[in-house]
């Protein structure tokens, strides 16, 4: 008979109080953070991926339209966000508060996992770790899918553990629904869900179980997964032309992390560089959604087949990044955001190449897994093995790593409890264990710094906020944010281009010209900058100079299949007067 850990059900009054206290602690931490973080310029103006989620949710909730942005990332989060917007009239603050409540629930689930697998003391500590873990509550309260992914990771593991003990049909259906939602939140759950379903079908179980019964229960769970995914696939077909519940960005992200020049693709920034990447399938003749996705999958396949050693080396680098004690930025840099919250500044930091808190959490979790390896059931091993592997297959960032925290907190808490007990024994053994844990943390800290850690994300944040302000017609706020970006990085071409557009909209053409010229010096091959400079010169009556830049812009846009810029440049060339500019 398979050995199982005795189940500890939190049904007593004492267990209820523990759960309630952990929920209140986690919620209080998140509310304090939200109050402090409200000084961040992007707090009420979503940028980059948050802006994509926000746009999709507003279109659905306030206009009743499902746009392609709904399926750019996983569809679950924008659907949830649309629900909040529908009730609150589009309040971003309400969305952050709702996500704080979800994050508090995640801390309770972490306690449940720790209590079930490792005992009461470890469970309470796991809940407290999740409640106070700064990278988690930072991303949970942003307009991002991280909080939902973390909640579903913990909830689905609890459901799988429940099936292991009590394989009732309702429990199997519950697991399947949670697993389907987790896939909609983030496609990196797919290997975890697939492996868990296989385990449900083929694990031996006790005498009361049969192979046929196991397969039927796994089939019931799989059918529940399909019941979640199929409606989203149908909606995707109506909107994008492709019946797939998976995100449109999935193939692009896979390509970004797996190609011969990953340093370049990982640092493609929002704006012109990103749009150029998106136009690559068009330049190759793609005309529909399936071709768009397959274009990047094919490039990854070609890279893996022709340069397997390079691909393997890249996986090794990404595995090192996954274990790094530092929080690696992508479009969001937690270290650049510390200045907006005393709480965040106290609970996440780095000294040299060592990062807190992951530099403590990870070695303690490894120790807990080693000490209690015989007690740990397969769902926990499956998640802790395959979810990080799925991230490594794509590319690593703090935001993608965060959902493992509520699960990793359980063995980390168990490791902490075991370490405390070890301190009551021989001093030499305790010292040797502490030295080994410190060595693991040091080994995980020495690699890097990598290319994504060398960029000024604070300047980019101000630039992105300035752009969003400009779209809203808030020119003074846009100019202020863009000048702050240029104070941090005077050679930031995008900021020069954007502030030129803002100044031109205000009729300050001479100042606009100066910034367009600076942008062109920094990006001489940018046909977009040539376009804006040409328009500004037209406004000054310098027709010949203007036509020169507009011709360059039109030719560059034609070659890059940038229809908006091409059409505007051609219209300007035909009319010889300024026209409405496309989005910078």
What confidence score (pLDDT) does residue 116 get? 95
Claim to verify: residue 332 and residue 464 sit in the same structural domain: no
Pairing, β 349-351 against β 354-356: antiparallel
What confidence score (pLDDT) does residue 19 get? 95
What confidence score (pLDDT) does residue 209 get? 66
Nearest to 78 by CA among 46, 110, 105: 46
Claim to verify: residue 109 and residue 233 sit in the same structural domain: yes
Claim to verify: residue 218 and residue 238 sit in the same structural domain: yes
Claim to verify: residue 198 and residue 161 sit in the same structural domain: yes
Please check whether residue 223 lies inside any domain of the structure: yes
What confidence score (pLDDT) does residue 11 get? 57
- The range of the structural domain enclosing residue 420 comes to 13-245+325-445
To the nearest 10°, report the CA torsion of 441, 447, 453, 454. 140
Claim to verify: residue 465 and residue 541 sit in the same structural domain: yes
What confidence score (pLDDT) does residue 583 get? 44
Please check whether residue 493 lies inside any domain of the structure: yes
Claim to verify: residue 428 and residue 476 sit in the same structural domain: no
Q: Which of 417, 445, 473 is the last residue of a domain?
A: 445
Claim to verify: residue 488 and residue 428 sit in the same structural domain: no
Claim to verify: residue 435 and residue 496 sit in the same structural domain: no
Are 151 and 106 in contact, with CB atoms under 8 Å apart?
A: yes
What confidence score (pLDDT) does residue 81 get? 98
Please check whether residue 199 lies inside any domain of the structure: yes
Please check whether residue 258 lies inside any domain of the structure: no
Q: Which of 381, 414, 445 is the last residue of a domain?
A: 445
Claim to verify: residue 39 and residue 155 sit in the same structural domain: yes
* CA distances, 325 to each of 121, 262, 365, 448 (Å): 26, 21, 13, 11
Please check whether residue 363 lies inside any domain of the structure: yes
Claim to verify: residue 468 and residue 563 sit in the same structural domain: yes
Please check whether residue 354 lies inside any domain of the structure: yes
Claim to verify: residue 469 and residue 435 sit in the same structural domain: no
Claim to verify: residue 473 and residue 493 sit in the same structural domain: yes
Please check whether residue 286 lies inside any domain of the structure: no
Total domains in the chain come to 2
Per run of 10 residues, the mean pLDDT along the chain (length 584 residues) is 44 85 98 96 92 96 94 95 97 98 98 96 97 98 97 97 87 96 97 96 67 88 97 96 94 97 94 87 87 95 97 97 96 94 97 96 97 93 97 97 98 96 83 95 95 93 93 92 95 94 90 93 91 87 87 87 83 64 44
The model's pTM is: 0.92
Please check whether residue 492 lies inside any domain of the structure: yes
The DSSP call for residue 357 is T
For residue 478, give the CATH number of its domain.
1.25.40.10
What confidence score (pLDDT) does residue 177 get? 98
* CA distances, 563 to each of 277, 425, 467, 536, 569 (Å): 15, 73, 21, 20, 10
What confidence score (pLDDT) does residue 349 get? 97
Q: Which of 394, 417, 445 is the last residue of a domain?
A: 445
Q: CA 402, 330, 489, 470 torsion: positive or negative?
A: negative
């Amino acid at each position: 008979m398979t050995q199982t850990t005795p189940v500890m059900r939190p049904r007593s009054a004492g267990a209820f109080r523990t759960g309630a206290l952990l929920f209140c602690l986690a919620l209080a931490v998140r509310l304090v953070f939200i109050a402090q973080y409200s000084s961040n310029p992007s707090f009420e103006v979503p940028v980059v991926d948050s802006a994509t989620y926000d746009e999709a949710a507003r279109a659905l909730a306030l206009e009743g339209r499902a746009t392609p942005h709904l399926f750019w990332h996983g569809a679950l989060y924008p659907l949830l966000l649309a629900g909040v917007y529908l009730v609150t009239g589009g309040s971003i603050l309400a969305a952050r508060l709702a996500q704080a409540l979800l994050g508090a629930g995640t801390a309770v689930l972490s306690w449940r996992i720790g209590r079930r697998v490792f005992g009461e003391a470890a469970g309470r500590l796991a809940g407290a770790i999740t409640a106070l873990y700064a990278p988690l509550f930072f991303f949970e309260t942003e307009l991002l899918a991280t909080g939902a992914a973390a909640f579903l990771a913990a909830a689905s593991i609890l459901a799988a553990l429940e099936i292991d003990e009590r394989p009732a049909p309702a429990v199997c259906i519950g697991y399947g629904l949670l697993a389907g939602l987790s896939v909609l939140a983030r496609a990196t759950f797919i290997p975890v869900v697939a492996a868990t379903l296989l385990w449900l079908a083929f694990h031996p179980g006790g005498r009361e179980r049969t192979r046929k019964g196991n397969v039927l229960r796994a089939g019931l769970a799989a059918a529940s997964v399909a019941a979640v995914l199929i409606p989203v696939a149908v909606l995707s077909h109506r909107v994008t032309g492709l019946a797939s519940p998976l995100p449109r960005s999935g193939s692009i992200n896979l390509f970004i992390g797996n190609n011969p020049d990953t340093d370049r693709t990982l640092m493609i920034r929002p704006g012109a560089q990103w749009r150029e990447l998106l136009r690559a399938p068009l330049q190759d003749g793609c005309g529909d959604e399936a071709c768009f996705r397959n274009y990047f999958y094919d490039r990854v396949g070609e890279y893996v087949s022709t340069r397997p050693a390079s691909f393997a080396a890249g996986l090794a680098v990404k595995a090192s990044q996954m274990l790094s004690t530092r929080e690696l930025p992508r479009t969001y840099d937690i270290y650049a955001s510390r200045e907006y919250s005393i709480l965040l500044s106290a609970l996440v930091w780095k000294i040299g190449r060592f990062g807190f808190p992951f530099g403590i959490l990870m070695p303690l979790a490894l120790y807990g897994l080693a000490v209690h390896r015989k007690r740990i059931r397969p769902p926990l091993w499956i998640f802790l093995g395959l979810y990080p592997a799925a991230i490594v297959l794509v590319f690593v960032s703090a935001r993608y790593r965060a959902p493992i925290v509520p699960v990793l907190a359980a063995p980390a808490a168990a490791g902490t409890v075991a370490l405390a007990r070890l301190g009551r024994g021989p001093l030499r053994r305790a010292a040797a264990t502490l030295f080994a844990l410190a060595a693991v943390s040091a080994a995980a800290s020495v690699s890097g710094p990598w290319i994504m850690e060398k960029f000024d994300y604070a300047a980019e944040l101000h630039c992105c906020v300035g752009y969003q302000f400009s779209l809203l017609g808030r020119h003074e706020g846009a100019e202020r944010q863009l000048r702050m970006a240029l104070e941090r990085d005077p050679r930031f071409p995008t900021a020069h281009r954007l502030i030129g557009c803002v100044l031109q909209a205000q009729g300050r053409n001479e100042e606009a010209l100066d910034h367009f010229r600076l942008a062109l010096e920094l990006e001489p091959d940018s046909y977009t900058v040539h376009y804006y400079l040409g328009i500004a010169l037209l406004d000054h009556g310098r027709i010949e100079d203007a036509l020169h830049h507009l011709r360059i812009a039109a030719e560059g846009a034609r070659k890059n299949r940038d229809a908006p810029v091409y059409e505007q440049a051609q219209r300007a060339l035909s009319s010889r007067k300024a026209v409405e500019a496309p989005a910078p």
